[in-house]
Amino acid sequence: MTDIYKMALLKADEIREQLGLNIFEPINIFDACKQLEVSVRFVDISMEGLYLIQGGGKNPTILLSNQRPFPRRCFTCAHELGHHIFKHGFKIDGLSENTGESSCDTEEFLVDCFAGSLLMPVAGIQVEFSKRKWVMGSASPIQFYTVCSVFGTGYKTLITHCKANKLISNNKANALSKVQPAVILKTIISSDIPTSYFKIIDRQPKSAIIDLEVSNYIILPDSVIIEGNHLEKIKGTEWGISYKAINPGIVRVYSEDKKFNSFIRIQNNSYSGLAEYRHLENIKD
């Protein structure tokens, strides 16, 4: 399996180079697919993902279930992109976000490794912990969640990826995995709220684009200025101010010192349709 992992890693690096990204930057997988001329469509079907080729092989398409948690859709999309990159043909998948541990099937293992390497490059993970002066071996669940927010992946997906790449021990991975994201969010906000996906965004340099879905939460630095009416303020916390995404659209978030400048793109809850239209309200295609 080592040779397969190396093949996946090299291909992920190749795709990043093709997209103009280095080995440290987060990648937005939906934007990446558009650049690679692979259509992505969200569908209201209970599945994980499906890769198919239409129009005599000229129209590669990835279908993603809108019923899955937001970060899971990102990993599934990268997984299905792997089938496209490695020319596996038609595939319908059920996977577990375990970056290579979901199947003993060679093709599935290959694209799981590819997805993990593309979304969470090891060097990028190390840099994100280092720039915050956090040590992975002793980092808290909130610190790990902050880093998974940078890469747009699931909390446990990051933990599994770090364990598989020997960045943390099995014992550390097991301890982190015992803490559920819902508990982390409750710890931050200090009150009961409906279970929902959330991101923790601090002031460290990061992607200029942050993707969310209506009903998701986000914790932002208390010094930033937010344009528009897309985010509803919940409360101030030790880690920043918490907000809930309430309207679809694109909102600019920035600081007066210009050290923080991002756009938050919010898609409708359970959106169905082409990925490039996901942030627009009442668009039917």
Note whether 102 and 145 are same-domain residues: no
**pLDDT band at 257, cuts 50/70/90?**
confident
Q: Where are the beta strands (DSSP E) in 55-100?
A: 59-65, 91-93
Write down the pLDDT at residue 57: 64
Domain count, the chain: 3
**pLDDT band at 96, cuts 50/70/90?**
very low
Percentage of residues in the chain having pLDDT higher than 70? 91
Note whether 87 and 148 are same-domain residues: no
**pLDDT band at 104, cuts 50/70/90?**
low
Write down the pLDDT at residue 183: 92
Final residue of a structural domain among 119, 146, 163? 119
Q: What is the mean pLDDT of residues 109-116?
A: 94
- Looking up residue 83, the CATH number of its domain turns out to be 1.10.10.2910
Final residue of a structural domain among 76, 95, 119? 119
Write down the pLDDT at residue 47: 86
Closest among 103, 81, 96, 104 to 34, alpha carbons compared: 81
Strands 249-254 and 261-267: antiparallel
Residue 93 counted as domain residue:
yes
Note whether 10 and 114 are same-domain residues: yes
Note whether 220 and 142 are same-domain residues: no
Write down the pLDDT at residue 85: 95
Final residue of a structural domain among 119, 149, 168? 119
Examine the pLDDT at 130 and tell me if it is beyond 70. Answer: yes
Closest among 68, 91, 72 to 81, alpha carbons compared: 91
Note whether 10 and 88 are same-domain residues: yes
d(CA 206, CA 197): 19
Note whether 76 and 146 are same-domain residues: no
Report residue 70: phi and psi, to 5°. Answer: -55, -50
Note whether 111 and 127 are same-domain residues: no
The more confident residue out of 265 and 106 is 265
Residue 284 counted as domain residue:
no
Residue 283 counted as domain residue:
no
Note whether 18 and 94 are same-domain residues: yes
Terminal Cα distance for the chain, rounded: 42
Structural domain boundaries enclosing 193:
184-277
**pLDDT band at 95, cuts 50/70/90?**
very low
Digit-coded pLDDT (tens) for 136-179: 999 999 999 999 999 999 999 999 999 999 999 999 999 999 99
pTM exceeds 0.85 for this model: yes
Q: What is the mean pLDDT of residues 64-80?
A: 94
Note whether 215 and 143 are same-domain residues: no
Examine the pLDDT at 9 and tell me if it is beyond 50. Answer: yes
Note whether 17 and 98 are same-domain residues: yes
Residue 142 counted as domain residue:
yes
**pLDDT band at 106, cuts 50/70/90?**
confident
Digit-coded pLDDT (tens) for 200-215: 999 886 668 999 999 9
d(CA 120, CA 79): 13
* CB < 8 Å & 24+ apart, contacts of 204-207: 204/128, 204/131, 204/132, 204/150, 205/131, 206/26, 206/150, 206/262, 207/25, 207/26, 207/28, 207/150, 207/262
